[in-house]
Amino acid sequence: MTIKHAFRLWARRAGVDIRRFNAIESTDARLVRQMEFHSVDFVLDVGANDGGYGRALRDAGYRGDILSFEPLTQAHAALQRITSGDPRWHVAARMALGAQDTEISINIAGNSVSSSILPMNHLHAQAAPQSRYQGQEPVPLRRLDGIDDPGLGRATSVMLKIDTQGYEMAVLRGAESTLPRIRGVQVELSTVALYQDQPVYDEVMTFLQSRGFVLWNVIPGFVDRQSGRMLQFDGVFYRA
């Protein structure tokens, strides 16, 4: 056994999996490599929370523009602080994105990242008790088609990332006029409905495929620790 293999075995026994940072073994490096291949220069980050996705892109080497959307008051404030020193990362006014322009209430999860406009199903709460809802707050709901951003207007290759906890299809339906100029879509998909009336992975994939997008990448996500069942994953699509 080589020293490298012995070290990796020791790390795994300690609960840590060490991988090389390249497009084969690293999820973030692979994602940014694909974005470079498609000349992505603008990312619409829908459901940004406190900026984890944008920070991962920056750490992996993406230097283009990012426009982030976040509906929760506390997460939106944290996002503004984190992005204050990055001139190419902008934060939209606090809002949720969906299929219509109105006012709604969003459910606030204990872990923040599982917050959703939709009621949470029992399976989700059982698999992640820390995600149970703790309250609500009102928020404007807007369509992506109605967003007028100068940077987006100048962009030549746009990536749309959606992580809205079961509300992804509503975001897509509010972006019908925008989708023709979108090069790639990264969307969170569920293998089973974790939220009430949530479309699962095959319906969302069929929607995107019917509009010319092809699956390029799958990124594992939320797993039920008790059963080992994968409940959510990200699908990354690009135009054929």
Task: Please check whether residue 228 lies inside any domain of the structure.
Answer: yes
Give me the pLDDT at residue 24, please: 60
Tell me how crowded residue 89 is: count the other CB atoms within 10 A of its CB: 23
- pLDDT band for position 18 (50/70/90)? very low
176 within domain boundaries: yes
Asked if the structure places residue 20 within a domain, the reply is no
Kindly state whether residue 4 falls inside one of the protein's structural domains. Answer: no
Mean pLDDT of 149-173: 96
In a domain, 115, yes or no: yes
Can you give the pLDDT at residue 172? 98
191 belongs to a structural domain = yes
CATH number of domain containing 178: 3.40.50.150
**What's the number of domains the chain is made of?**
1
The pLDDT of 41-46, averaged and rounded, is 98
Residue 8 above 50 pLDDT? Answer: no
Confirm whether 158 is domain-assigned.
Answer: yes
Q: Is residue 11 part of a domain?
A: no
Q: What is the mean pLDDT of the chain?
A: 91
Domain extent at residue 102: 26-239
What is the tens place of the pLDDT at every residue in 80-121?
999 999 999 999 999 999 999 999 999 999 999 999 999 999
Which pTM does this prediction carry? 0.88
91 vs 23: which has the higher pLDDT: 91
